[in-house]
């Protein structure tokens, strides 16, 4: 593995574009392809999921968010058991194969009863849980493969695979939903998910060739610990608690905007087909802009200005966005705010969050991180969904936007705190925790 202190100039045209050293290029390409396949698999289904959510009634969305959180409560201890018993090399493949089988089960259920509303609701909840778990574990692998210095340079370019997949997925969905049907899309999504296992094998082989950060046999042993070890690690660490608060505030901002999007889209575009087209169009714009930022700016910003900028820029922009929505909650204003929020999250916030886990121990990377990415994330979703519903019921959407601006301000302050703690942790001799 390349030393953190090494600052050799990039070698080759591709390496110069992605700010990588020659020996790192294969891993960057492998990580890019892994996330491309993963997000193409998920984003094929996202427009369908959003349409199912509106079909059940915007006023009932908080129940789907609550159902998603409860489903996460079931899945988290199962994952904790797997991560305690399985070696790191087999944890991701087993998790992905299990997810693929469940997705295929939904496909055959839709074939048998395509108009069943409960299958649609269960599908909404499962996709909301599934996407967090598979993405979280993939980033755990990245944090395991790369050092902190490498993560700052390379995670933005690797994350561009997410955006490319997010751009390809809706296009595939739009082209293939008529000839394949919803069940066919689910089966194709399953095939894309399982194809990522080839990338995992390739990346692990690269890691072995470069020289592991720990003993070679370590990745073949179970991580160990209890099924609740991830939660225990968070409760004992002020640093991880701060990251958890950051995620809760992130999800609160996202959920407030999500509900506003549902209300505005339902009012402006009453037809389901139009709604799906609108969601797909927003996805295409978001992913196109995100790819550009990730490839050419994220790594350079992180290397020159630090993780703090990645964690605080978007919250500050969202304060302005909510202010605009409080004044004029129209579709054009909403669309701009949604695009800025999602581009910023994918291109800046998400890579910045993942960089925080490159310098922690293995159990934190695979257990505590997963709890934050799933249990904490969906818990924040559920709480903010009911809070938004309550604010709209007793006040108005403008009141919800004002509260959203306040939450965004707290989000920015938390990001500032975490960025400073991370910078202190990077200093030689700094204690973990």
pLDDT score at 309? 92
146-199 tens-digit pLDDT: 888 888 888 888 888 888 888 888 788 878 877 888 788 889 999 999 999 999
Distance CA 201, CA 204 (A): 5
What the block records as the tokens of 118 is 């409960």
Task: Give the Cα separation of 259 and 265 in Å (integer).
Answer: 10
270's tokens: 């009453």
Cα distance between residue 234 and residue 203, in whole Å? 28
Residue 222 backbone dihedrals phi, psi, to 5 degrees? -60, 150
Spatial distance between the Cα atoms of 72 and 129, rounded to a whole number of angstroms: 6
Task: Please name which of 349, 363, 249 lies closest in space to residue 307, comparing C-alpha atoms.
Answer: 349
pLDDT of residue 1: 39
Contact 124, 52 (CB under 8 A): yes
Tell me if the pTM is above 0.85: no
Which residues make beta-bridge pairs with 87?
222
* Angstrom distances, CA of residue 93 to CA of 133, 139, 284: 13, 14, 29
305 Cβ partners below 8 Å, 6+ apart? none
| Domains parsed from the chain with CATH numbers | 20-210+227-425 (1.20.1250.20)
Question: Coil, strand, or helix at residue 383?
Answer: helix
User: Rounded CA gap, 390 and 396, in Å?
Assistant: 10
Instruction: Answer whether 187's CB lies under 8 Å from 105's CB.
Output: no
Q: 105-135, pLDDT tens digit by residue?
A: 988 887 888 777 777 788 888 888 888 888 8
Evaluate whether 143 touches 357 at the Cβ level (below 8 Å): yes
Report pLDDT digits (tens) over 53-91.
Answer: 665 565 666 777 788 888 888 888 888 788 878 887 888
Q: Looking at residue 7, what is its pLDDT? A: 43
Copy the structure tokens of residue 133: 């778990």
How far does CA 386 lie from the centroid of its chain? 22
**Structure confidence at residue 103 (pLDDT):** 87
As a whole number of angstroms, the distance between CA 212 and CA 190 comes to: 31
Q: Which stretches of the chain score pLDDT less than 50?
A: 1-9, 213, 215-218, 432
Count of CB atoms situated within 10 Å of the CB of 324: 16
The tokens for 397 are: 């959407």
């Amino acid at each position: 593995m390349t030393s953190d202190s090494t600052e050799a100039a990039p070698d080759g045209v591709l390496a110069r574009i992605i700010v990588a050293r020659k020996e790192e290029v294969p891993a960057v390409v492998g990580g890019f392809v892994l996330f491309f396949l993963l997000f193409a698999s998920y984003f094929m289904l996202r427009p369908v999921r959003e349409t199912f959510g509106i079909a059940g009634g915007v006023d009932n969305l908080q129940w789907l968010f609550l159902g998603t959180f409860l489903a996460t409560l079931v899945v988290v201890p199962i994952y904790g058991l797997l991560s305690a018993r399985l070696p790191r090399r087999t944890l991701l493949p087993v998790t992905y194969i299990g997810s693929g089988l469940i997705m295929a089960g939904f496909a055959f259920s839709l074939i048998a009863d395509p108009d069943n509303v409960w299958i649609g609701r269960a599908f909404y909840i499962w996709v909301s849980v599934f996407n967090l778990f598979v993405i979280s574990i993939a980033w755990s692998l990245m944090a395991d493969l790369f050092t902190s210095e490498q993560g700052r340079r390379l995670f933005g370019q690797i994350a561009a695979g997410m955006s490319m997949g997010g751009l390809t997925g809706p296009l595939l969905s739009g082209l293939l939903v008529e000839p394949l049907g919803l069940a066919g899309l689910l089966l194709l999504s399953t095939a894309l998910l399982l194809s990522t296992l080839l990338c995992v094998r390739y990346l692990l082989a690269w890691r072995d060739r470069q020289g592991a950060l720990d003993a070679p046999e370590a990745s073949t042993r179970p991580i160990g610990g209890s099924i609740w070890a991830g939660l225990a690690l968070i409760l004992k660490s002020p640093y991880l608690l701060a990251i958890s608060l950051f995620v809760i505030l992130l999800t609160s901002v996202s959920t407030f905007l999500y509900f506003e999007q549902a209300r505005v889209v339902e009012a402006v575009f009453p037809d389901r087909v139009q709604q799906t087209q609108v969601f797909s169009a927003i996805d295409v714009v978001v992913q196109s802009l995100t790819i550009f930022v990730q490839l050419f700016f994220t790594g350079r910003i992180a290397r020159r200005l630090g993780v703090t900028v990645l964690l605080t820029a978007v919250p500050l922009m969202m304060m302005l966005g909510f202010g605009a929505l409080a004044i004029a909650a129209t579709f054009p204003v909403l669309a701009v705010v949604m695009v800025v929020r999602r581009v910023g999250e994918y291109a800046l916030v998400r890579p910045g969050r993942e960089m925080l886990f490159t310098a922690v121990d293995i159990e934190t990377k695979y257990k505590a991180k997963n709890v934050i990415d799933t249990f904490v994330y969906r818990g924040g979703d559920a709480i903010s969904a009911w809070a938004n519903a309550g604010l709209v019921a007793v006040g108005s959407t403008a009141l919800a936007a004002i509260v959203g601006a306040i939450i965004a301000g707290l989000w920015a302050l938390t990001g500032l705190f975490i960025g400073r703690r991370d910078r202190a942790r990077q200093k030689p001799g700094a204690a973990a925790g």
